[in-house]
Structure 1
Amino acid sequence: MQNTMQPVGRSCGDQSDAQRYFTVWRWHFYAGVFVTPFLILLALTGLGMIFTANIYGKDGERMKVAVQTVAKPLSQQAQVALDAVDKAQGMVVQYIAPRAADTVAVFRVNDGSGKATMVAVDPYTAEVAAAYPRNKGFYYLMDNIHSDMLLGGVGDYILETAAALTVLLVISGWWLWYQKQGSLPRMLVSPFGKKRSWWRSLHGSVGTWISLMLLVFCVSGMAWAGIWGGKAVQAWNQFPAGKWGVVPDPESVVPVHGDLNDGETKEIPWVLELTPMPQSGTTVGVGGIAPGLPPTLDTVDRFARESGFQGRYHLYFPKGKTGVWTLNRDSMSYDSPSPTADRTVHIDRYSGKVLADIRFNDYSAFGKFMAAGVAFHMGTMGWWSVVLNMVFCLAVVGMCVSGWIMWWQRRPKNAAGLLPPPQKNVAAPKTLLVVLLVSAVVFPTAAAAVAAVWLLDRLLLVCLPRMAAYLK
């Protein structure tokens, strides 16, 4: 199909300008065809998580109770939770403090087989309010789809590729819309015409407004992914193994902070996941629980409150002989609205001394970005971020739908095939090519996808004329 539409809005330009525009547009189109279904999926599941977490709570922690004068001892609450699951062989492994005076405390209890159950307890009466399997329910279904589409590593790779290609989609979209509008103000507020012109103005203007936020979401989301995140940037930003007296031993496996995540739920700050845990039973450590008091659930919680942990925070019980008590409070886990208040404290299970006190200022530069970026991504920075995220998710869906509507309106009646913008044998602008190539190198899954599309577009279609008919 030959398209005679003038592509450059600010000036007619020469023929090579028009051909260059079509070259960039073709690649923008290909990226959009692959990316938009996944962006819609991510936006809708993101909306589901935001709604559930802020109305019901991901672990039932927003369940209400009647406020009384005095709460029962924490050890008594924990025992009630244990009795409700497996009194004989069970074990309490985590405590989530009440968000407010009128909400429940939540305990994670593992039964004799290791199966985890979350038990909500009224802190004033020490009675069980509810019990439910860990990592189950609507929030976790949305979270699992959002993370890997219930496909495990394959889904993780696909979504990482989609996020990486979204970066290329945004960059090429900026360039195309700038060629149309000629200035940033016109990119932000474009006159609306009729039919396809109306959809194009909506697509371009809304895309300009949300593009920076979309890039932040893509980068913070990819940092959780298995390749770019787990194999690259996350490994560069961990703390050194010997920071808290943890001596690397090639013959033993030293637990890392990510082990506290229980394999699925992300509760430990991103920058700490690969960092080795300090160990109990050493001579290191300062301060901590007052001398003469044994490190128990009650004394550790009292120390947490006295040392600045207010409201909701997570307390992890020691694992094994060298395990430590761990206190953690961060915005990513819906504990606080400010990522700068992130704090993780480890306490020796024998001496009660503080082995590590890790705060936001101790993070690397990218670790700080991730602490803020993930909290922003999840909408945990207050009601303003919840509303902003909901509007953003709806805008992303609108962007994707408008792109497909424009494609459909451009198609001739009774046309067959994908019908991308016409192929032109003209290279894209050098500056844009450099930016796109750098992005592709930084994000290896995007580079692989771009290479595959280029081979399809340039080489394979020569040998497959029937397929070529659907891509002209």
Structure 2
Amino acid sequence: MSKTSTPMNNRPINNAPSHNERHARSKHRYFLTWRWHFYAGLFVVPFMLMLSLTGLVMLFDDEIEFSRYQSVLEVVPQNSAVAVSAQMDNVLLAYPDAKITQFVPAPSSDLANRFSITLDSGKTVFVTVNQYSGDIIGSIDRSDSWYQLANDIHGTLLLGDWGDYLIEIAASLGVILLVTGVYLWIPRDNASKAGFLKIRTTNGPRILMRDLHANIGGLLSLVLLFFFISGLAWASVWGGKFVQAWSSFPAEKWDDVPLSSQNHASMNHGSEEEMPWNLEQTLMPESHDHAAMLAAMSVTENSQDGEAADDANMNMAAKWGVDDVLAQAKTLGFSQFKVNFPRTDTGVYTLAENTMSGDITDPRLDRTTHIDQYSGRVLADVTWNEYNPMAKFMAAGIALHQGDVSVLNKIVNVLFCLAFIFIAISGGVMWWIRRPTGKKVLGAPPRFEHEGVWKVGLVTMIALSFMLPMAGGTIALVLLVDWLVINRVSKVKLALS
């Protein structure tokens, strides 16, 4: 007998699916993908509009702020400037109960220096000072910034953590929206090829809107994915608990440096993200415990000459002033930066020059340096070279995301925002055109049951739960509600069909 045998009709067994079977499976997979795209869009579209509109406001932050506060920002350049310490003294005279937290040198000779102060009420204010005369020009309420309002809406919907969670769900589902959209966009047959990279203007409004929506969305899918991923890195769960936590700079790399219980995010002012992304969760270094050293000296004071002990205490109490720190910044090679002041007796001066806060546009020049407030010793110095790959991606990505790299970058980002707004609105218009008129139903794409297709959805959901937990959890919750409620209440099932 031969090694192979055939049935009695001498035809070989062929377990491969027939052409019709493959066509049916492809069709069912298409409609499953379309349903996912439709339902994800229901949730994502309002958020996509909000993120694009607030993004436009933030892109023009400098122009908006200058138009609102030009009178307290502009100065007439002179040949010489007053020492920054004298400028700071004038600020403290005008606001005796305030605490200065930050000094922002003027980015150009015709703009004023800024001192950020915190009032007794907790309000944070920028005091602008003419660096040539030392006179105070005026003040800017940092919480009254259009940028901060747009940023708060952009990040939390003004709802705190709950708003953050909702936006993270929207961004996570946005990734699904993109993937399913690209799948629907790629040609599968002659019908789908007809509108691929083409705009059909003579086939009615539905086809026109479909071609515009699909082609613009498909061509910009990688750009939108970049915005979603870089935004998700700031979110509480995927960003804060996973990606940012794993990518944070390890403070243990600083040799023989005492660490504070405060992290770098404590230096941010309100919702303004000023510290580099990979340092926000990293603990701050501390200056020497000056109070403890003074206490130790007082114990031995009786065994010393009184005048000598007083001199020693005065030397211990001497702190590095802002002029010393600025001179050191120049020596270290800083150009456009911020100086964050110590906020406790063991706090440090922090020189920060980074793309996150818009100081510079080249992320490779990012630098954060901490200085002991008593000795002037550099305790820690973090540069681009110490960033891990994800931190480098974020540093470069944020500059692009914010349109800080160049004027062209800002113009392109404006066009992207407008395109994203169109994609969101056109999706809604497409649904409105194709919705069943006169019926109280949602008009979702039809459901086709097919053996094996549900397994694709299950595997996808499990994968999403690991990669994007908020998306996976949301889908699992929706499926649970679908099984417990929607499938058991015929009127609800009909309305959502």
* TM-score bracket, shorter-length normalisation: 0.7 to 0.9
Partner of 2:239: 229
1:214 alignment partner AA: L
Structure 2: state its 5+ residue gaps: 1-19, 291-317
User: Does the 8 Å CA contact 1:324/1:348 hold for their aligned counterparts?
Assistant: yes
Partner of 2:380: 356
User: Does the 8 Å CA contact 1:59/1:118 hold for their aligned counterparts?
Assistant: no
Aligned mates of 2:191, 2:443 — CA distance in 1: 30
Alignment of 1:417 with 2:425, yes or no, is no
Partner of 1:461: 486
User: Does the 8 Å CA contact 2:73/2:112 hold for their aligned counterparts?
Assistant: yes
Alignment of 1:279 with 2:289, yes or no, is no
Partner of 2:54: 45
Partner of 1:286: none
User: Does the 8 Å CA contact 1:26/1:421 hold for their aligned counterparts?
Assistant: yes
Give the deviation of 1:142 after TM superposition.
0.8
* Distance change (3 Å), C-alpha of 1:50 and 1:199: same
* Distance change (3 Å), C-alpha of 1:198 and 1:425: same
**What secondary structure, in the 3-state scheme, does the structure 2 residue paired with 1:254 have?**
strand
Aligned mates of 1:80, 1:114 — CA distance in 2: 21
Sequence identity (%): 38
Partner of 2:207: 197
Structure 1 stretches of at least 4 aligned residues deviating more than 4 Å after TM superposition: 57-62, 180-188, 245-249, 427-437
**What secondary structure, in the 3-state scheme, does the structure 2 residue paired with 1:446 have?**
helix
* Distance change (3 Å), C-alpha of 1:182 and 1:379: farther
User: Does the 8 Å CA contact 1:92/1:317 hold for their aligned counterparts?
Assistant: yes
Aligned mates of 1:147, 1:59 — CA distance in 2: 24
2:469 maps to which of 420, 444, 452: 444
Aligned mates of 2:280, 2:183 — CA distance in 1: 38
Give the deviation of 1:273 after TM superposition.
0.6
2:392 maps to which of 352, 364, 368: 368
2:26 maps to which of 14, 17, 20: 17
Aligned mates of 1:380, 1:411 — CA distance in 2: 42
1:418 alignment partner AA: L
Aligned mates of 2:190, 2:136 — CA distance in 1: 63
Aligned mates of 1:428, 1:369 — CA distance in 2: 37
Aligned mates of 1:431, 1:192 — CA distance in 2: 33
Which structure shows the higher helix fraction? 2
Give the deviation of 1:460 after TM superposition.
2.5
The more displaced of 438-447 and 264-273 is: 438-447
Partner of 2:329: 304
* Distance change (3 Å), C-alpha of 1:58 and 1:359: farther
User: Does the 8 Å CA contact 1:237/1:367 hold for their aligned counterparts?
Assistant: yes
Q: Select the structure with the greater relative contact order (CA < 8 A; seq sep ≥ 6).
A: 1
Give the deviation of 1:355 after TM superposition.
1.1
Give the deviation of 1:456 after TM superposition.
3.8
Alignment of 1:261 with 2:268, yes or no, is yes
Structure 1: state its 5+ residue gaps: 1-10, 284-292
1:25 alignment partner AA: W
Partner of 2:183: 175
The more displaced of 152-161 and 94-103 is: 94-103
Tell me the alpha carbon deviations over residues 81-118 of structure 1, each in whole angstroms, 9 at most, x when there is no partner.
Answer: 2333x22x322110011111111111111234543221
Partner of 1:290: none
1:162 alignment partner AA: A
User: Does the 8 Å CA contact 2:369/2:382 hold for their aligned counterparts?
Assistant: yes
Partner of 1:78: 88
Tell me the alpha carbon deviations over residues 42-99 of structure 1, each in whole angstroms, 9 at most, x when there is no partner.
Answer: 1101111112234426996993221111111111222222333x22x32211001111
User: Does the 8 Å CA contact 1:110/1:116 hold for their aligned counterparts?
Assistant: yes
Give the deviation of 1:245 after TM superposition.
4.3
1:140 alignment partner AA: Q
* Distance change (3 Å), C-alpha of 1:296 and 1:340: same
Partner of 2:309: none
User: Does the 8 Å CA contact 2:289/2:346 hold for their aligned counterparts?
Assistant: no
* Distance change (3 Å), C-alpha of 1:324 and 1:188: farther
2:463 alignment partner AA: V
Aligned mates of 1:422, 1:430 — CA distance in 2: 18
Tell me the alpha carbon deviations over residues 8-54 of structure 1, each in whole angstroms, 9 at most, x when there is no partner.
Answer: xxx99723322221111011100000100011011101111112234
Alignment of 1:336 with 2:343, yes or no, is no
Aligned mates of 1:347, 1:247 — CA distance in 2: 11
2:170 maps to which of 162, 178, 181: 162
Partner of 1:117: 125
Partner of 1:322: 346
Alignment of 1:380 with 2:417, yes or no, is no
Partner of 1:29: 38
Question: TM-score w.r.t. structure 1 length?
Answer: 0.87
User: Does the 8 Å CA contact 1:187/1:208 hold for their aligned counterparts?
Assistant: no
**What secondary structure, in the 3-state scheme, does the structure 2 residue paired with 1:385 have?**
helix
The more displaced of 40-49 and 237-246 is: 237-246
User: Does the 8 Å CA contact 1:119/1:131 hold for their aligned counterparts?
Assistant: yes
Aligned length: 447
* Distance change (3 Å), C-alpha of 1:115 and 1:406: closer
The more displaced of 39-48 and 13-22 is: 13-22
Aligned mates of 1:436, 1:388 — CA distance in 2: 34
Give the deviation of 1:452 after TM superposition.
2.2
The more displaced of 161-170 and 378-387 is: 378-387
Partner of 1:402: 426
Aligned mates of 1:59, 1:294 — CA distance in 2: 38
Give the deviation of 1:180 after TM superposition.
5.1
The more displaced of 175-184 and 146-155 is: 175-184
User: Does the 8 Å CA contact 2:129/2:135 hold for their aligned counterparts?
Assistant: yes
**What secondary structure, in the 3-state scheme, does the structure 2 residue paired with 1:447 have?**
helix
**What secondary structure, in the 3-state scheme, does the structure 2 residue paired with 1:174 have?**
helix
* Distance change (3 Å), C-alpha of 1:409 and 1:180: farther
2:55 alignment partner AA: G
**What secondary structure, in the 3-state scheme, does the structure 2 residue paired with 1:56 have?**
helix
Partner of 2:229: 219
* Distance change (3 Å), C-alpha of 1:434 and 1:336: farther
User: Does the 8 Å CA contact 1:242/1:248 hold for their aligned counterparts?
Assistant: no
2:33 alignment partner AA: V
* Distance change (3 Å), C-alpha of 1:302 and 1:428: farther
User: Does the 8 Å CA contact 1:94/1:107 hold for their aligned counterparts?
Assistant: yes
Question: TM-score w.r.t. structure 2 length?
Answer: 0.83
Bigger Rg, structure 1 or 2: 2
